[in-house]
Structure 1
């Protein structure tokens, strides 16, 4: 049985056309059910795809004369949505010509176009950017928001938690994902008022949803493997993610430098090579590529701009799984179970019932 067609922004990303087409071919090799709508400069797309006969047989091409550049402002990109490969890929989802869109292009432009074209689901105020992050546990965790919204209130955070849990159930096969809010401490009195309000509400609604709320988590514990969904605002989430990526590169670069420092070190590398290969594979961003804009009336996945063909294939595989498991419908059902009004009422109730030791302190005193 074929899955809904996946629209590919063939011109986006650092390497552009060659990597996007090669990634689609790899994904098709792994899953013959896939079909594609390749959006881009038609003559160039057809020429590149000719190297992959199996892909040609499963792909339609839609011509797009323009490309969104990496430094283009979202407002500028929106004005050219009808002529760019990114804009037309998203429009294919809106028109029902594709079930999902994948792009490695400008993140801000992709978010703006997707939100304007597809709109948010009922009960969702803002979409969020969610990604899979490696851990010491048996599976990756879902983390959101990673940059779509720099400031968020309690209601936004609760909505993110509901969407992240739905994503984790599909991506990792979990019945009741463990959800935590990113904070500067695990104590209930730590953090901003919005964080404490969101925590109080999640405690109230987790029994009605397929998730388990486990309170707050600090940034140094994210990858320990004892949480399935980490929820935060886009400002803090983006900083935390970049810090983790930088730490991973630091470790791998330090190991490489250490193993090449002397003849004895090189001999040691040969002995420990299986372990270092396992580490490299675990930390390779291509094996975790594919960030999802959750909360939209459609599936839009952002591939890293510097992803390899294998990384693009991984993003497409994630997209196919989300289509197969009906992510959008699951999120809508979970929101209906809770209800937007209940969320708003619970936020107000949480604020009026804060303990005196939390509300009578200044933020700096409480967080000390």
Structure 2
């Protein structure tokens, strides 16, 4: 069974309530229609009820099964403002400012997760990653024992022998511009756990670089080497290795020449990039040139599931991210 078929099946078996913070936007409305028709989740749309219904009608969509919450008129707004004030008052938050901020759709939606009214949140079709992360980190915060939020893509490459028959996870492709060695190690461990719980993979984690096992020197290589050592020390039960060039990470013949004896080289299904530039460029290259399906970015590390979208996403992309978010909620990822 293809990964997304499995994810859809799990989402349907235990429906979760997911909030779409950009409820007036066209692709979100199209996704809502598809999600409800397929029974993937219960949906809450944030926005003006009048605009949401008018836009859906103009698009010929049926969103009658969705709940619509307007931050400017909702009965929840006053309570959300008070709770947000209590969460942030030591940081200088005033009640007046909190009342204004929770009327922002992203802050309102994040408070809906915090209070347990919804199980997960998806946004990003018309907002930046920073717009999403800011309220998430202020309100929901990171999961216990997790130091950093990161983002990964599930890459499904057609007719491909690499990874698990073309299935690989790429991280971090969305959140951290230049992670430290310690942060890179944390990203590797978190992504390995996600690969197991969400994708049912036996993770083989490659710490990518332009060097393989000391073939090059310098500050950039040393960071990946240090990150690998930290990750291995923290989790001796996981197969994590590096530093590895991409070809050594995924191609058996190259691995035998460049990294003989590595438990990961030639078999990697989780690729950890040294920084956001390489990660973001890398996933887009594979998506465009190899015609891969890129699902995400999926955030990991939040106490409750909050997920970003690419502003170039399609409605089908939103449907898949919502399904992923629902399964994250089921599994506590």
TM-score (ref. length: structure 2):
0.71
- 1:130 equivalent in alignment to 2:152: yes
Contact 1:81 1:113 in 2 (8 A): no
Structure 1 residues 212 and 310, CA gap change in structure 2 (3 angstroms): same
Find the counterpart in structure 2 of residue 184 from structure 1. Answer: 210
Residues in 2 aligned to 1:223 and 1:40: alpha-carbon distance in whole angstroms = 45
How big is each residue's C-alpha offset from its partner over 1:305-330, in whole Å with a ceiling of 9 and x where there is no partner? Answer: 12121121121122122223321xxx
How big is each residue's C-alpha offset from its partner over 1:171-206, in whole Å with a ceiling of 9 and x where there is no partner? Answer: 4211x3001112121114754433222212333344
Spell out the pairing of 1:42-53 with structure 2 (5 A cutoff): 42-49=49-56, 51-53=60-62
Residues in 2 aligned to 1:180 and 1:309: alpha-carbon distance in whole angstroms = 32
Greater Rg over alpha carbons, structure: 1
Structure 1 residues 125 and 204, CA gap change in structure 2 (3 angstroms): closer
Find the counterpart in structure 1 of residue 111 from structure 2. Answer: 91
In structure 1, stretches of 5+ residues that fail to align are: 67-77, 252-278, 328-368
Q: Secondary structure at the match of 1:290?
A: strand
* Bigger helix share: 1
Residues in 2 aligned to 1:114 and 1:222: alpha-carbon distance in whole angstroms = 34
Root-mean-square deviation (CA, aligned residues, Å) is 2.9
Residues in 2 aligned to 1:107 and 1:217: alpha-carbon distance in whole angstroms = 29
Residues in 1 aligned to 2:101 and 2:188: alpha-carbon distance in whole angstroms = 31
In structure 2, stretches of 5+ residues that fail to align are: 1-12, 74-96, 252-265
Structure 1 residue 220: Cα displacement: 5.7
Q: Secondary structure at the match of 2:112?
A: helix
Residues in 2 aligned to 1:223 and 1:82: alpha-carbon distance in whole angstroms = 46
Q: Secondary structure at the match of 2:311?
A: coil
Structure 1 residue 219: Cα displacement: 4.4
Find the counterpart in structure 1 of residue 316 from structure 2. Answer: 310
- 1:197 equivalent in alignment to 2:226: yes
Find the counterpart in structure 2 of residue 63 from structure 1. Answer: 70
Structure 1 residues 182 and 65, CA gap change in structure 2 (3 angstroms): farther
Residues in 2 aligned to 1:295 and 1:244: alpha-carbon distance in whole angstroms = 20
How big is each residue's C-alpha offset from its partner over 1:186-244, in whole Å with a ceiling of 9 and x where there is no partner? Answer: 11475443322221233334433xx31132232466776832222235xx233343255
Alignment: residue pair count: 271
TM-score (ref. length: structure 1):
0.65
Residues in 2 aligned to 1:139 and 1:300: alpha-carbon distance in whole angstroms = 26
